[in-house]
């Protein structure tokens, strides 16, 4: 093996948006959830993370940069992902560069990782989902890991729960699993990206500020204090998951929209039921809900579903392109863009 070389690999992973939400862990360190969840992965290139991983004998330690700024890799979550991926590394040969890395070499070699999000980080747009999924995927490719996407998803899960769902496109279910060691808590694809491709997802950025309560601490507080969370995890979500799977298989938009909206609202109700209460949505978010609800009720069938994650930004899923263009007209009318904001991020003005 030549002494001075560098091997790099770049991958891109889109974020995913849950339509049946994950909120609450039964095991904090392994990141095991209290209920199954279902998400839709966005098309590549939109809200996504691009990660380049590099390995070289010249590197003296593992290092990582996020959006150009160095961040620490010492946290348990990064360490779990790196450990699990390294343990599965296999021989790699790059004939062009004359590089041969044996399974054993990976234990000694250090990595440099550079990751960019093309959307606001930690603003409730699931940046950790795309980020950790991309990290695990790109390292897996670099190290010639032979596991399938479900197995990789169980590793990404240990970086950030929702990340496990970004290993697949289309509609994805994160099965909570039963095993104490988390081996069966992984993602499976319910339907690929072509299955229901008339849906159009529009993200209305209400605020790109970082959220005050991180998802990790928010869900910990909900598990400790919310009775509604217990009811939701045991009684509500298991039935909803079955109905949502059916709605997706049958491309039944009316059921899909009813379930997604109800689940988003219940997740935010759990946040309110937490002590102290957590407010992720703001007045603009509430006005968007009103606007969509009124519109859906004025039509024969629902046109748009809404769902909100741990932040005020609205994820709106239109049944088809026609509904999407009407939705954009309505949003522009009721929430005119703020001219002072960056053109790249369309921020809804509050015209109340
Ligand atoms: C979801 N969220 O299902 C839910 C809905 C936010 C609201 O998954 O602690 O960043 O890293 O496992 O994955 C956000 O939580 O939390 C999330 P950790 P994560 O998409």
The Å distance, Cα 24 to ligand 1 centre, comes to: 9
Let me know the angle formed at the C-alpha of 116 by 113 and 121, rounded to the nearest 5 degrees: 120
The Å distance, Cα 176 to ligand 1 centre, comes to: 13
pLDDT digit string, tens, across residues 28-79: 999 999 999 999 999 988 889 999 999 999 999 999 999 999 999 999 999 9
The Å distance, Cα 314 to ligand 1 centre, comes to: 16
State whether 69 and 119 are in the same domain: yes
Q: Which of 342, 319, 162 is nearest to 255 (CA)?
A: 319
Q: Which domain holds residue 314?
A: 200-334
State whether 183 and 207 are in the same domain: no
Residue 1 within any structural domain of the chain: no
State whether 162 and 257 are in the same domain: no
The Å distance, Cα 175 to ligand 1 centre, comes to: 14
The ipTM of this complex is 0.99
State whether 22 and 163 are in the same domain: yes
Tell me if 173 CB under 6 Å of ligand 1. no
Tell me if 287 CB under 6 Å of ligand 1. no
Under 8 Å between Cβ of 36 and 174? yes
pLDDT digit string, tens, across residues 175-215: 999 999 999 999 999 999 999 999 999 999 888 777 778 99
Q: Which of 10, 48, 264 is nearest to 139 (CA)?
A: 10
Pocket test for ligand 1, best of 124, 162, 265, 279 (most atoms within 8 A of CB): 162
CATH number, domain of 14, equals 3.30.230.10
Tell me if 24 CB under 6 Å of ligand 1. no
State whether 48 and 180 are in the same domain: yes
Nearest CA to ligand 1 atom 12: 161
State whether 135 and 19 are in the same domain: yes
Instruction: State the Cα–Cα distance between residues 34 and 102, nearest whole angstrom.
Output: 40
Q: What length does the chain have? A: 352
State whether 255 and 150 are in the same domain: no
Residue 80 has pLDDT above 90, yes or no: yes
State whether 242 and 155 are in the same domain: no
Mark which of 158, 191, 224 sits at the end of a domain: 191
Residue 111 within any structural domain of the chain: yes
State whether 34 and 146 are in the same domain: yes
Q: Parallel, antiparallel, or unpaired: how do β-strands 110-117 and 63-66 relate?
A: parallel
Under 8 Å between Cβ of 206 and 196? no
Residue 79 within any structural domain of the chain: yes
Chain mean position to CA 26: 19
State whether 182 and 230 are in the same domain: no
Nearest CA to ligand 1 atom 4: 22
Under 8 Å between Cβ of 16 and 166? yes
Under 8 Å between Cβ of 319 and 325? no
Residue 168 within any structural domain of the chain: yes
State whether 127 and 211 are in the same domain: no
State whether 215 and 295 are in the same domain: yes
Mark which of 139, 170, 191 sits at the end of a domain: 191
Count of domains in the chain? Answer: 2
Under 8 Å between Cβ of 288 and 207? no
Pocket test for ligand 1, best of 14, 20, 22 (most atoms within 8 A of CB): 22
Q: Which of 23-27, 30-34, 75-79, 117-121 has the lowest mean pLDDT?
A: 117-121
Instruction: State the Cα–Cα distance between residues 42 and 74, nearest whole angstrom.
Output: 30
Mark which of 159, 191, 223 sits at the end of a domain: 191
Residue 352 within any structural domain of the chain: no
Nearest CA to ligand 1 atom 20: 18
Q: What is the dihedral of CA 193, 194, 195, 201, to 10 degrees?
A: 60
CATH number, domain of 325, equals 3.30.70.890
Q: Parallel, antiparallel, or unpaired: how do β-strands 16-20 and 37-41 relate?
A: antiparallel
């Amino acid at each position: 093996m030549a002494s001075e070389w560098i091997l790099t690999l770049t991958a891109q992973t889109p974020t995913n948006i849950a339509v049946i939400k994950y909120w609450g862990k039964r095991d904090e360190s392994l990141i095991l959830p209290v209920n199954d969840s279902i998400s839709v992965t966005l098309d590549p290139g939109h809200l996504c993370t691009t990660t380049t991983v590099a390995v070289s004998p010249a590197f003296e330690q593992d290092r990582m940069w996020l959006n150009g700024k160095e961040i620490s890799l010492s946290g348990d979550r990064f360490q779990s992902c790196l450990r699990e991926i390294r343990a599965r590394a296999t021989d790699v040969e790059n004939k062009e560069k004359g590089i041969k890395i044996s399974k054993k070499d990976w234990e000694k070699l250090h990595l440099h990782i550079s990751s960019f999000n093309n959307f606001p980080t930690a603003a409730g747009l699931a940046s950790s989902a795309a980020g950790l999924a991309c990290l695990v995927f790109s390292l897996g490719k670099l190290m010639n890991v032979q596991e399938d996407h479900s197995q990789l998803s169980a590793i990404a899960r240990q970086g950030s729960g929702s990340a496990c769902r970004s290993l697949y496109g289309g509609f994805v279910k994160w099965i909570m699993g039963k095993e104490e060691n988390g081996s069966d808590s992984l993602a499976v694809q319910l339907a690929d990206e072509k299955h229901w491709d008339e849906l159009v997802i529009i993200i209305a950025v209400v605020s790109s500020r970082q959220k005050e309560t991180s998802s990790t601490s928010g869900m910990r507080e909900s598990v400790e204090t919310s009775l509604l969370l217990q009811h939701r995890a045991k009684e509500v979500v298991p039935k909803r998951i079955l109905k949502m799977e059916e709605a997706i298989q049958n491309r039944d938009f009316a059921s899909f929209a009813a379930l997604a909206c109800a689940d988003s609202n219940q997740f935010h109700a759990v946040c309110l039921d937490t002590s102290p209460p957590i407010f992720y949505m703001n007045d603009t978010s509430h006005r968007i809900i009103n606007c969509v609800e009124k519109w859906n009720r004025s039509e024969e069938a629902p046109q748009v579903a809404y769902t909100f994650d741990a932040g005020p930004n609205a994820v709106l899923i239109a049944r088809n392109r026609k509904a999407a263009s009407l939705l954009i007209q309505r949003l522009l009318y009721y929430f005119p863009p703020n001219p002072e904001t960056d053109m790249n991020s369309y921020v809804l003005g509050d015209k109340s």
